[in-house]
Structure formats: C-alpha cells, structure tokens
C-alpha cells in the first residue's frame, strides 16, 4: 500500500483524465475484483430520476441525509461514516511531519537525481526485480485466504519471470490482463478473516498503517528475502535503494495530494483506510511506501 497510489486516486479524479495512471490501483478489464455491475440500463429507473426534487437548500439537505457515497462504495458502516480510530493522533501527526520532511528534503531530491541519470527501462527492470522477489509474501497471503487461483498465478509468474524474465528484471506478464490479480499482503489476509484495522498508526519512514497492518508488515518483512541479506547494512541499503527507485515513478503525486487537501494528514489517513478496505479486490502493482 503506498501513498503515491493514494495520491493518484485522489488526483486523477475529475475528468478521468490522466494523472498518474501508473501509480494508482489497477483494475483489469475482467478482474474478478471488479464489482459486478455495469451496463444495466433500466428505462424506468431513468424516468424515476426526474422525480428527484430540484433546486434550493431543501434538496441539499435531503441529499446530505442520505450519506450516500460511502455506503454505496461498499464500505463497512464505520468506514462509511468516515470514522477512523486515531487515539495517538499527536504521535501520528508528528510522524506525518517527519515523513513529509524526509520526502521533500531527502527522498525526492535523491530520486530526482537518480532518475536524471538512470534510464526508464533500467528503473522498470529494478522495480520488476524487487516485485518478483517479494512473491513469497503475496503467495502466503493468497494461500492463507485459500485463494487458489491467485496463488497459482503468483507462483506461475514467479517461476516464469525468474527464468524467462531473467531474475524478474522483465515482467513477462506485463501486458497480460489475465495475470493481473489483486495482490495480497498479510494485513489484508487478516482483514479477510475479520480482523479489524484497530488504531491508525503512522510509522516514521514506513508511513500510514494500522495496528492490524503493522502486524502484517512484520510478517511481510520476514517473508521478504532481502531482509536476510548480510550484513544488515547491506540489507538496509537495498531497502533504501528500492524505495528511491520506486519513488522515481511517483514524484509529484504526494505533492498534488497535499496541494488539494485542506488537512493533508486527514486526507491521507482517510484515503489509506478507504483504499485498504477495497485493496484486496483490486490489482495493485506496488506494495511499498516510505513517505507520509
């Protein structure tokens, strides 16, 4: 789950124009995660639409009472009301500020410099390589949730990309919509079994999370092969390098969220919670974040 993706979500909006398509959660055409809907045009329902009262404040009040958007979006009742448990808001806001500074003062300039000298195909290759390497976490999440089809696809992709894709540098399935499945993590797997988010937590360096997702992160961390690289400084170096590389694909996204928000801390918190509530249903290419 990364914030850049959230930013993308918030950004692209209006004209369904363009924003940062590569960063946002991705829904393939025939993804099973896509809610079953569409293309049901009922003429009488259309006619019923005209019966809506129009104009004036009465209408505005009436529509407020419906509390519609969230409920329709399929969130739970608490999420629908936009309620997030945030008992340590003081700490969280401080960490949010820390991550914000970290992004603007360190990560962004470094990523910019790196992007200026490293061509796009290399950065994509690096991203693919790490994504392939973190297959175990996604696979375990699928298996735990008894998602046989997804587990099979993860495993198949891993084997093909590691061999034909030269250690995962090339994503052989990049253009294959069949292979685009929701990518799980242990936080989502726990959610699948009814574990609630618990309090919202912002971690320094890691960014937004919840109690449940933090426990998941520990598991995901243990399932990440780069965790076991020795010496420890090398493992840390790899992690940082990976974040810098990932950041090059999303420079500008976080800035735009901040730009559009009245209270960026709340905007990101809300987006995190809402997005996680649906993340298991939609394909998301990246599961890492480092900044607010």
Judged by CB under 8 A, the chain residues 162 through 201 that form the site for another protein are 174-177, 180
The site string for another protein over 243-272 (x = CB under 8 A, - otherwise) reads: ---------x---x--xxxxx--xx-xxx-
218 touches 172 (CB < 8 A): no
Q: Is 238 in the site for another protein (CB under 8 A)?
A: no
User: Peptide bond preceding 74: is omega within 30 degrees of 0, i.e. cis?
Assistant: no
Q: What angle do CA 233, 236, 237 make, to 5 degrees?
A: 85
Q: Comparing C-alpha atoms, which of 280, 290, 289, 292 is closest to residue 25?
A: 280
Q: Is 52 in the site for another protein (CB under 8 A)?
A: yes
Nearest CB to another protein, comparing residues 185 and 224: 185
Q: How far apart are CA 176 and CA 180, in angstroms?
A: 7
Q: Using the rule CB under 8 A, which residue among 1, 2, 26, 215 binds another protein?
A: 26
Q: Is 30 in the site for another protein (CB under 8 A)?
A: no
Q: Using the rule CB under 8 A, which residue among 4, 6, 107, 244 binds another protein?
A: 6
Nearest CB to another protein, comparing residues 87 and 148: 87
| Smallest distance from another protein to CB 115, Å | 15
Q: Is 60 in the site for another protein (CB under 8 A)?
A: yes
Q: How far apart are CA 277 and CA 179, in angstroms?
A: 22
Q: Using the rule CB under 8 A, which residue among 82, 136, 199, 225 binds another protein?
A: 82
Q: Comparing C-alpha atoms, which of 124, 134, 137, 202 is closest to residue 169?
A: 124
Q: How far apart are CA 226 and CA 212, in angstroms?
A: 23
List the structure tokens of 119: 């061509």
Q: Is 122 in the site for another protein (CB under 8 A)?
A: no
């Amino acid at each position: 789950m990364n914030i850049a993706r959230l930013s993308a979500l918030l950004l692209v909006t209006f004209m369904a124009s363009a924003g940062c398509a590569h960063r946002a959660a991705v829904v393939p055409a025939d993804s099973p995660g896509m809610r079953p809907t569409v293309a049901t045009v009922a003429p009488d329902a259309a006619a019923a639409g005209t019966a809506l009262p129009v104009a004036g404040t009465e209408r505005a009040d009436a529509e407020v009472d419906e509390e519609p958007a969230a409920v329709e979006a399929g969130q739970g009742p608490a999420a629908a009301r936009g309620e997030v448990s945030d008992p340590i808001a003081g700490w969280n806001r401080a960490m949010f500020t820390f991550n914000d500074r970290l992004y603007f003062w360190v990560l962004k300039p470094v990523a910019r410099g790196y992007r200026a000298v490293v061509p796009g195909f290399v950065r994509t290759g690096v991203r693919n390589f790490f994504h392939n390497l973190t297959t175990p976490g996604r696979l375990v999440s699928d298996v735990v949730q008894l998602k046989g089809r997804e587990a099979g696809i993860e495993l198949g992709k891993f084997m093909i990309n590691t061999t034909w894709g030269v250690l995962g540098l090339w994503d052989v399935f990049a253009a294959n919509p069949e292979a685009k499945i929701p990518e799980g993590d242990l936080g989502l797997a726990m959610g699948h079994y009814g574990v609630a988010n618990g309090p919202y937590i912002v971690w320094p360096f890691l960014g937004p999370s919840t109690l449940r997702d933090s426990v998941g992160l520990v598991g995901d961390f243990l399932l990440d092969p780069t965790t076991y690289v020795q010496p420890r400084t090398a493992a840390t170096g790899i992690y940082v390098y990976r974040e810098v590389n990932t950041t090059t694909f999303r420079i500008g996204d976080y800035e735009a969220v901040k730009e559009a928000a009245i209270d960026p801390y709340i905007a990101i918190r809300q987006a995190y919670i809402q997005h996680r509530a649906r993340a298991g249903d939609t394909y998301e290419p990246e599961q890492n974040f480092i900044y607010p």
